[in-house]
Homo-oligomer: A and B are copies of this chain.
């Protein structure tokens, strides 16, 4: 029944072992320099996360299948059952990595706060010990925001696993990321509470320099979490696309973060800390996602499950909110936003929506073709006309019968649109095309963000 290979080949074992040993070596050296070198440590942790995630995905495959986490790949000739919900493994490894990493970014502060050398010998007073009070100069607010990020990510994983287990209804699961964002929002409320936005210059005569969004700021943050998580969840369905698009976004954010660090920006720069924070969250994410992609890329040996999409989206949302670059994040999610807007007519049932909208696998050619929705009942006139217009704009493939009635159209997803544009192609080429698009749009987005910011704000915080 189950033909999932669970053992690592000896090449894999040796590669993963050497990688892990190298990372542990690097990690043990990070304290020698004296300041904990958190970025180096984060890279080493990410390597370890990659290795453990890679091995665990392989080892746990059969256990997942046995417990009913399994599915068939509809876009293959031979439809074997492969493990589902492997994103949960990935997310667990990620969570324990960022938890284990906590001491590094704070190492410098620990040493300074305790009179050097890491020996905590400042507090000797028995009274203070008995009451459990210890007040030293320590960046507790940085720690609290890091912890709240982990809490929100753990919450989304718990809820995502719940969804993968019990198949929560569509209209409920849309809200899952908002629930998971609560820890972050509450800590934000308690600990920072900055709900003011810098107003773009053209609007300053009306709103002043700063505009207090008040509770709307919390709504904005919750919406961003919902959007980020769900938009990745609906741009899905072919091998590797969920993980690979997340990787592209993560790498672009890392690229943007690095622009704020030396030697690219003067040090210390006011935004350095925020972008370091962002790096610490993203590097291990890239590690575990690469391990998952290796198994999920065409032809997929495992599926990722909703857990992964929620989790990835939440990593971005948390990162953007607590790293204070949520507007930049939205620029990187433009393809997802486009896919959402483009899908809206089907999602909101203006046009019939079949249960599955993934592209169709042509058994004869082995290629993916765009899937179509047939309109049994004639469409209402304005809708039919809009579809014909979209067809003329090359944004849809519409079939019309002799009387000018729209009888079918391609499904409203960016994946199908890609196939409309470029014709049938193999699943991996389809994924690669979409990823190239994602990368290109993201690069342009970042360029615009850094070149144009000065036109609408008085200072670019670059």
Q: Mark A residues whose CB is within 8 Å of B.
A: 60, 63, 67-68, 92, 95-96, 99-100, 102-103, 106, 110, 114, 120, 123-124, 126, 129-135, 138, 140-141, 143-144, 147-148, 150-151, 154-155, 157-158, 161-162, 165-166, 179, 182-183, 186-187, 189-196, 198, 209-210, 270-271, 274, 324, 459, 461
Consensus secondary structure, chain A interface: helix
Copies of chain A in the complex: 2
Name the distance in Å between A251's Cβ and chain B's nearest Cβ: 24
Residues of chain B lying within 8 A (CB to CB) of residue A138 = 141, 191
Residues of chain B lying within 8 A (CB to CB) of residue A270 = 130-133
Name the distance in Å between A249's Cβ and chain B's nearest Cβ: 22
Residues of chain B lying within 8 A (CB to CB) of residue A271 = 131-132
Inter-chain CA distance A47–B135, complex, in Å, is: 35
Residues of chain B lying within 8 A (CB to CB) of residue A179 = 96
Q: Which 7 pairs, one residue from A and one from B, show the smallest C-beta to C-beta distance?
A: A140-B140, A131-B270, A147-B147, A154-B154, A102-B186, A120-B193, A132-B324
Residues of chain B lying within 8 A (CB to CB) of residue A92 = 158, 162
Inter-chain CA distance A193–B114, complex, in Å, is: 10
Name the distance in Å between A318's Cβ and chain B's nearest Cβ: 14
* Contact (Cβ within 8 A) A191 B131: no
Inter-chain CA distance A459–B126, complex, in Å, is: 11
Inter-chain CA distance A161–B130, complex, in Å, is: 37
* Contact (Cβ within 8 A) A141 B140: yes
* Beta-carbon nearest neighbor of A168 in chain B: B63
Residues of chain B lying within 8 A (CB to CB) of residue A187 = 102, 143, 147
| Contact partner, A110, options B103, B165, B190, Cβ 8 Å | B190
* Contact (Cβ within 8 A) A191 B154: no
* Contact (Cβ within 8 A) A194 B151: no
Inter-chain CA distance A177–B263, complex, in Å, is: 43
| Contact partner, A144, options B147, B161, B183, B193, Cβ 8 Å | B147
Residues of chain B lying within 8 A (CB to CB) of residue A274 = 132
| Contact partner, A99, options B123, B131, B186, Cβ 8 Å | B186
Name the distance in Å between A325's Cβ and chain B's nearest Cβ: 10
* Contact (Cβ within 8 A) A210 B154: no
Inter-chain CA distance A165–B162, complex, in Å, is: 12
Residues of chain B lying within 8 A (CB to CB) of residue A67 = 68, 165-166
Name the distance in Å between A459's Cβ and chain B's nearest Cβ: 7
* Contact (Cβ within 8 A) B110 A193: yes
| Contact partner, A143, options B68, B95, B99, B140, Cβ 8 Å | B140
| Contact partner, A126, options B103, B165, B192, B210, Cβ 8 Å | B210
Name the distance in Å between A176's Cβ and chain B's nearest Cβ: 12
Residues of chain B lying within 8 A (CB to CB) of residue A195 = 120
Name the distance in Å between A91's Cβ and chain B's nearest Cβ: 9
Inter-chain CA distance A157–B195, complex, in Å, is: 33
Residues of chain B lying within 8 A (CB to CB) of residue A133 = 270
* Beta-carbon nearest neighbor of A99 in chain B: B183
| Contact partner, A194, options B63, B129, B157, Cβ 8 Å | B129
Inter-chain CA distance A88–B158, complex, in Å, is: 10
> Could you write out 19 A-B pairs with CB less than 8 Å apart?
A67-B68, A96-B182, A102-B187, A103-B186, A110-B190, A126-B210, A129-B194, A129-B196, A130-B198, A130-B270, A131-B270, A132-B194, A132-B324, A134-B194, A143-B190, A147-B147, A150-B183, A151-B151, A154-B155
Residues of chain B lying within 8 A (CB to CB) of residue A165 = 67
Name the distance in Å between A183's Cβ and chain B's nearest Cβ: 5
Q: A103-B189, A143-B187 are in contact. List 5 more A-B contacts (CB 8 A).
A: A130-B270, A135-B141, A138-B141, A147-B187, A151-B151
| Contact partner, A151, options B100, B154, B186, Cβ 8 Å | B154
Name the distance in Å between A27's Cβ and chain B's nearest Cβ: 15
Inter-chain CA distance A102–B123, complex, in Å, is: 29
